[in-house]
Structure 1
Amino acid sequence: MAAHDLVKESDTGMLGANLSRQFRIVHGYEVGESEQRSWRHSLPALADALVGAGLGSVEMLIEYQVPLSSYRVDALLCGVHPVTCEPSYVAVELKQWTKVRPVPDAEDLVLVDGMDNVARLHPVAQVRRYCDHIADFTKSLHGHEDRIRGVAYLHNATDDDVDLLFALAPDAYGQLFTGSSKAKFQKYLVERLAPAAGVGAADALRSEQVAPGKKLMDVAAEGIAERSQFNLLDEQRVAYSLVIRAVKKARAADFKEVIVVTGGPGSGKSVIALELLGELYRNGLSALHATGSKAFTTTLQQATAPDDPRIKKLFRYFYEFTRVEKNSFDVLLCDEAHRIRDPYIPQRFRDRQRRQVEELLDAARVPVFLLDEHQVVRPGEMGSVEAIKEAAAAMNLPVRHVRLGGQFRCGGSRAYEEWVLRLLGLLPGGPLPWKGDDRFAVQVADTPQELQAVLRSHHEGGRQARMAAGFCWPWSKPVRRANNVVELVDDVSLSEWDWAHPWNVQSERSIGGYPSKNLWATDPAGFSQVGCIYTAQGFEYDWNGVILGPDLVWRNGAWAANPQENKDTAVARASEEEFTHLIRNTYKVLLTRGMRGTVLFSTDRETREMIRTLVTGY
């Protein structure tokens, strides 16, 4: 809406309610009272500044969603540049802060008075990232990145109140203004926006197609190509070549094809995806990598672009393609596609929302799905070959399916992978005795201390070792001791053996020397915590310790699944049949993370003895 219209609506007292209703229509969910309160106080302050500067006709896009992201800009001002007469945009991050305190040794973080003691991102750093992202993925801004600018406006504060925020140097995508510098803010706006109506500029963004810009593609071609130099073998090369072939056909004619690549743990699915990403960008084609796992995506970003935030943007999440235009990209690489969700959609939104698999199929001319059907571990995850083929058939899209036969995890031991599948009943025939394999070691521990001692010997010997467990124990928040030291709680407590250790960190920030949940599998400091399915899935380490909990035990020659013993509420609420399937898949994932060996321990004596008999023969 135009700035002068927002002022009028604010005067009626209906601004919060009306924006809330519109937000629900656009985004499909309700906002809380705190956000409505923020709208009622901050948006009129911004609109008043615009009207006072003679810019009442400038269009305000409220809660503008950043492309390929769940993040939203408080307001995106849309208008015409007073000199060039071209479209002009100003992203505005609004804050009601009045006082801030520094976070030592972190100029882009601050503590805000009255808002607990949690560090928050500097608002200029925040809006700067929004602008950078919008410029990289908005087609009409490609080659015209100077059309968008960014500001943070702290309308309740004075310059003196927040003087430390000015230590962060301003640039085109981020400047700071406060209530006491309102006149400077208005001057800034007048230099970038004309009094003319901004409806045209706003409409251009509403119908905008999303795609990576040329600058981003050039950076990706250099950065990813330097890092992805894997030697693809056999079926891996077949999958790679089929994607390249499909892209060439799609570029030459009106053609679209779906590629599905399936394989077990360590079969090279992610290697194929990274090789394709580098090759596509070297040839000037647009592609994105997407997963449903925060930990997995973060690790890929660290591995391919530790110091280049622009390349990190190429690694996205499945849920970010809800509003992407059809065929926005040449290729969308959906890695870990078994984690595609098929959530329940309320009746009132079914006329405009699609299943996630349909959104991913629509997003690119060549959608590629890489998955392991035995890694579906949560209710609502529906990534399977059959489900993808059914969705593609409904859209009249041809599908090519490549089965990877290689094995690079578990020491390349096919025997161990089959042993795990047979052990858990994921392949017919029942458990098999472990006959040994020179490439992979299997041990059964009688106590958790023994399991940890074996892992520690490898860890101290320079090997990467981790222990993970079924989700059978509570997961507490960290506690702050009297000396202000933050500690994790020893939730994984096996009292029978007088052994207890904490789960890995729940948050995306490191705590007390422990790595964030996204880096538990790769940071050496992760050794002392117990990982769960969500931090282990998608990763590998040399030596793998697995604690089988009481949610899956061996009774009377068969597995018995006990949802009452599982603390993952979403999984425990599943039907009996679904829970049994999910929990077996969970332990299958945990048991196949090792590259050199696995050490097993079950908290249940009968289960432990059955596994020991399989492994040792007695």
Structure 2
Amino acid sequence: MRLYAGSTLQLFDDVARRSIAGQLKQSYFGYYGYKPSDEEVGAWENSITALAGVFEDAGLEDHAVAIEYQLPLTSRRIDCMVMGKDDDRRDNAVIVELKQWESCEASDCANEVVTWVGGTKREVLHPSMQVLQYQNYLEDTDTAFYGNPSVRLGSCAYLHNYRPRKNDTIFEPKFADILKQAPAFTEVTSTHLEEYLRKRLSTGQGAEVMKHVDAGTYRPSKKLLDHVSAMIKGVPQYILLDEQRVVFDKVMAVAQQTVGQQHKTVIVVRGGPGTGKSVIALNLMADLAKAGIGTEYATGSRSFTTTLREIIGRRGSALFKYFNSYMDAEPNLIDVLICDEAHRIRKNSNSLYTPRARRTDQPQIDELLHAARVGVFFIDDDQVVRPDEIGSSDLILQRAREQGIECHDYDLEAQFRCAGSEAFVAWVENTLRVKRTANTLWSHEDAFDFQIMDTPQKVEDAIRAKVAEGHTGRMTAGFCWPWSRELDGHGSLVKDVDIDDYGYSRPWNARPETARLPAGVPSSNLWAYEPSGIDQVGCVYTAQGFEFDYVGVIFGKDLVYRFAQQDWTAQPDSCYDRVVKRSKGKLLDLLKNTYRVLLTRGLKGCYVFFQDKETADYVRSRME
């Protein structure tokens, strides 16, 4: 999809008639179903006009342009791509990232700068890093840019209002390598941009190159698959043990037999906390990629996906997506689609940001089944913690069979926790009455370290002591306190998790929309990965999908046990999760699942503080 495409001569004419912004606005409305913001229209008017002037001064009169060009299977759009041939008559294209910035400031982060965005200062990617990512994505996933023959791709940034100062942030030494690959041009170096474009597009014939680009299809390149395979195999934690290997071999065999055949296959792998679902999934990703089989990895968790992208690296991130990335996917576009955390599959892929014209009633599970020849779903049926999450093994198998898809169904039984302590998970499930198990009493003789502590500070101290010894650990809590959007008056995270009776107050992990985080505070999506995440309390949405050696849990008053009723009860007034709170009849089950998730994040130990004394007494009564 692109909002504007044509020749450079047509662009010059549209700019001269001052109609370019209007055309883009009309195309935007036709595609998204609503009007773009006035700010975006103004940006088109100013930036495209400035760039068209550069094209004209560079003599690019026999070239093709695509404006607001959407990267396949993403929501990201390239500002402009200009196409033509070089001196050797080879097809070339250049991506140009446009910025109206007038200044920016330094950031502590490796690839970011600070500038005004949306009425406030925010940390954003350096423009050259941003456009280089777009280039790498196309070179790795679009056959037009890596096939034989291929379109040679270049990229640059044009900050047409920017006048650099001495020792300007944009040109800091730490960005030297990025700038070498994707140079940044400013208001005072526009003639250098003209030279850059002439060198790559000297011969013109852009219409022919555009046909080559349009003929390209989405398919991850062998180089990208090899890269991802090597990165995963280089991470020592991703080693398969015992039953994990058995399931891996079964799934691998079925996947390899199905790829290239006419029929489709679905494989469902069930497993509770600590069974190694993600370990198997990542090993499958690595080995299928190594075999040259087009494989993608999708989840419904922003935190989990972001952390995987951080581990695998920027280049490999192209193959790690979200469940809602496949709304427009062609049938069987992907050989194997690995769906981790499949319990987070939603009713449909619509979100607040989905254009009205693209909203759909199609179930999200059908989109996932449609997109891949082989679908592999890793799922824990008892981890649904939001009312709009409907993923279950029964749903997946039912929808697949209704569509005539061959199905395989496996269970992971063994728990890979300290001393094989699957008993702890079973005891938690029994105690919360999530399901009946034989584990009614917890024994202190078990190697898994479970303790109830009488203050939240003691829990945190115990977790920090384990981290100091070299273990991984995090503090978590039920969603029983507000979650501030803004920083406090001192530029720090607000200490929302405030338990007055015990003099304990800590901040939640940062919100995704918080503009500029204090130094040393990880983004919400990397709270579980960055070491400094120990200084904030995580909720279920940032903790789900991750496992630590030791986890601390503040068990709030939203879920309490009452001896008089001999049962658990939900207390909505103590719940600050508005979505869950509105779930009415589902509230109790969702809260039980929430604490099941939090209590089972530890591989070696779990330390808990209960705000409600009667609930603590009940849990103690179920311990030897």
When the two structures are superposed, what TM-score results if normalisation uses the length of structure 2? 0.87
Measured in 1, the distance between the counterparts of 2:269 and 2:122 equals 43
Measured in 2, the distance between the counterparts of 1:31 and 1:65 equals 16
Counterpart selection for 1:488 from 463, 488, 493: 493
Offset of 1:589 from its aligned partner? Answer: 0.4
SS in 2 for 1:67: coil
Measured in 2, the distance between the counterparts of 1:215 and 1:225 equals 15
- Higher mean displacement: 428-437 or 311-320: 428-437
Offset of 1:196 from its aligned partner? Answer: 5.5
**Residue number in structure 1 paired with 2:540:** 533
Once the two structures are superposed, residues 361-387 of structure 1 have per-residue CA deviations (whole angstroms, 9 ceiling, x without a partner) of 233321211111111112322221122
Offset of 1:41 from its aligned partner? Answer: 1.6
Measured in 2, the distance between the counterparts of 1:210 and 1:61 equals 18
Query: Does the 8 A contact of 2:551 with 2:607 survive in 1?
Result: yes
Once the two structures are superposed, residues 458-501 of structure 1 have per-residue CA deviations (whole angstroms, 9 ceiling, x without a partner) of 4444443322111110112463656xxx4222211112223222
SS in 1 for 2:338: strand
Distance 1:293 1:206, change over 3 A: farther
> Where does structure 2 lack aligned partners over 5 or more consecutive residues?
none
**Residue number in structure 2 paired with 1:277:** 285
**Residue number in structure 1 paired with 2:561:** 554
**Residue number in structure 1 paired with 2:549:** 542
SS in 1 for 2:201: coil
Once the two structures are superposed, residues 43-92 of structure 1 have per-residue CA deviations (whole angstroms, 9 ceiling, x without a partner) of 22223433454435633322222334332211122x33143444421111
**Residue number in structure 1 paired with 2:84:** 80
Distance 1:175 1:271, change over 3 A: same
Query: Does the 8 A contact of 1:451 with 1:601 survive in 2?
Result: yes
| Equivalent AA in structure 2 for residue 539 of structure 1 | F
Query: Does the 8 A contact of 2:64 with 2:84 survive in 1?
Result: no
Measured in 2, the distance between the counterparts of 1:223 and 1:429 equals 39
**Are 1:369 and 2:374 counterparts?**
no
Counterpart selection for 1:566 from 563, 572, 575: 575
SS in 1 for 2:622: helix
**Residue number in structure 2 paired with 1:472:** 480
Counterpart selection for 1:91 from 95, 100, 109: 95
Query: Does the 8 A contact of 1:99 with 1:162 survive in 2?
Result: no
| Equivalent AA in structure 1 for residue 228 of structure 2 | A
Measured in 2, the distance between the counterparts of 1:191 and 1:450 equals 65
Counterpart selection for 2:364 from 352, 356, 363: 356
Counterpart selection for 2:523 from 503, 512, 516: 516
Query: Does the 8 A contact of 2:427 with 2:437 survive in 1?
Result: no
**Residue number in structure 1 paired with 2:68:** 63
| Equivalent AA in structure 2 for residue 569 of structure 1 | R
Measured in 1, the distance between the counterparts of 2:545 and 2:387 equals 18
Query: Does the 8 A contact of 1:259 with 1:401 survive in 2?
Result: yes
Offset of 1:335 from its aligned partner? Answer: 1.1
Measured in 2, the distance between the counterparts of 1:105 and 1:546 equals 30
Distance 1:128 1:402, change over 3 A: same
Query: Does the 8 A contact of 1:132 with 1:173 survive in 2?
Result: no
Distance 1:114 1:564, change over 3 A: closer
Once the two structures are superposed, residues 187-241 of structure 1 have per-residue CA deviations (whole angstroms, 9 ceiling, x without a partner) of 433333367664554455456322221222333343333436623423x334323
| Equivalent AA in structure 2 for residue 157 of structure 1 | Y
| Equivalent AA in structure 2 for residue 466 of structure 1 | R
Measured in 1, the distance between the counterparts of 2:574 and 2:211 equals 54
Query: Does the 8 A contact of 2:305 with 2:320 survive in 1?
Result: yes
Measured in 1, the distance between the counterparts of 2:36 and 2:57 equals 30
> Where does structure 1 lack aligned partners over 5 or more consecutive residues?
none
Measured in 2, the distance between the counterparts of 1:530 and 1:329 equals 38
Offset of 1:512 from its aligned partner? Answer: 3.6
Distance 1:16 1:447, change over 3 A: same
Distance 1:252 1:343, change over 3 A: closer
**Residue number in structure 2 paired with 1:220:** 228
Distance 1:472 1:7, change over 3 A: farther
**Are 1:451 and 2:459 counterparts?**
yes
Measured in 2, the distance between the counterparts of 1:215 and 1:349 equals 36
Offset of 1:139 from its aligned partner? Answer: 1.2
Measured in 2, the distance between the counterparts of 1:451 and 1:491 equals 18
Measured in 1, the distance between the counterparts of 2:109 and 2:423 equals 51
Counterpart selection for 1:128 from 116, 120, 132: 132
SS in 2 for 1:578: helix
Offset of 1:452 from its aligned partner? Answer: 3.3
**Residue number in structure 1 paired with 2:337:** 332
**Residue number in structure 2 paired with 1:380:** 388
When the two structures are superposed, what TM-score results if normalisation uses the length of structure 1? 0.87
Measured in 2, the distance between the counterparts of 1:541 and 1:133 equals 32
**Residue number in structure 2 paired with 1:391:** 399
Once the two structures are superposed, residues 131-174 of structure 1 have per-residue CA deviations (whole angstroms, 9 ceiling, x without a partner) of 11111111121156761111211222346699653454476751
Distance 1:343 1:466, change over 3 A: same
Once the two structures are superposed, residues 229-255 of structure 1 have per-residue CA deviations (whole angstroms, 9 ceiling, x without a partner) of 623423x33432333223332345323
Distance 1:198 1:393, change over 3 A: farther
Measured in 1, the distance between the counterparts of 2:398 and 2:23 equals 40
SS in 2 for 1:386: helix
- Higher mean displacement: 311-320 or 87-96: 311-320
Query: Does the 8 A contact of 2:33 with 2:356 survive in 1?
Result: no
| Equivalent AA in structure 2 for residue 142 of structure 1 | Y
- 1:577-616 aligned at under 5 Å gives the runs 577-615=585-623
Measured in 2, the distance between the counterparts of 1:273 and 1:582 equals 26
- 1:299-314 aligned at under 5 Å gives the runs 299-303=307-311, 305=312, 308-314=313-319
Distance 1:379 1:194, change over 3 A: farther
- 1:395-474 aligned at under 5 Å gives the runs 395-409=403-417, 411-428=419-436, 432-436=440-444, 438-474=446-482
Distance 1:552 1:147, change over 3 A: same
- Higher mean displacement: 271-280 or 260-269: 271-280
| Equivalent AA in structure 1 for residue 413 of structure 2 | G
Measured in 1, the distance between the counterparts of 2:617 and 2:89 equals 78
| Equivalent AA in structure 2 for residue 266 of structure 1 | G
| Equivalent AA in structure 2 for residue 540 of structure 1 | E
Aligned length: 607
| Equivalent AA in structure 1 for residue 122 of structure 2 | V
| Equivalent AA in structure 1 for residue 501 of structure 2 | E
- 1:9-88 aligned at under 5 Å gives the runs 9-10=14-15, 15-27=20-32, 31-56=36-61, 58-77=63-82, 79-88=83-92
**Are 1:498 and 2:503 counterparts?**
yes
